[in-house]
């Protein structure tokens, strides 16, 4: 009987551990579109113009949560991701003529939260 009790406790422990792991893991899963860091500023600015002509880019405007750092690379990454998410997260929607990269690591920082739509 003691072996059965230990086995049952072990099974319950595994089940609870799995549930906790899945809960934490599901919150961190996602994919985001960011600008390739080797992209020229002219191309990044074109990407910003394109994306922001299709979606609201208020968060990269002065006073927005993603305004700082005020660089083309940062603003392009935020705008490109907003567009990518709005279009349904299809790989082609992160291409931007080869200047976009898909990452599974959340690029959010400080008060700037990169949007993720399931």
Sign, CA torsion 35/51/43/64:
negative
Q: Is residue 1 over pLDDT 80? A: no
User: Which residues lie closer than 8 Å to 96 by C-beta, 6 or more apart?
Assistant: 35, 43, 47, 50, 80
CA distance 88 to 55: 13
Q: Is residue 18 over pLDDT 70? A: no
Residue 78's pLDDT band, with cuts at 50, 70 and 90, is very high
pTM of the model: 0.76
Percent of the chain surpassing pLDDT 70:
76
């Amino acid at each position: 009987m003691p072996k059965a009790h230990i086995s049952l406790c072990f099974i319950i422990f595994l089940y609870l551990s799995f549930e906790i792991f899945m809960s934490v893991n599901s919150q961190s899963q996602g994919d985001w579109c960011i600008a390739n860091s080797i992209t020229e500023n002219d191309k990044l600015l074109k990407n910003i113009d394109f994306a922001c002509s299709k979606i609201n880019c208020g968060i990269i405007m002065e006073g927005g949560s993603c305004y700082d750092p005020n660089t083309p690379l940062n603003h392009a990454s935020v705008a490109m991701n907003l567009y990518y998410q709005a279009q349904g997260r299809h790989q082609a929607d992160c291409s931007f003529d080869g200047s976009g990269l898909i990452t599974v690591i959340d690029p959010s920082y400080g008060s700037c939260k990169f949007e993720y739509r399931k």
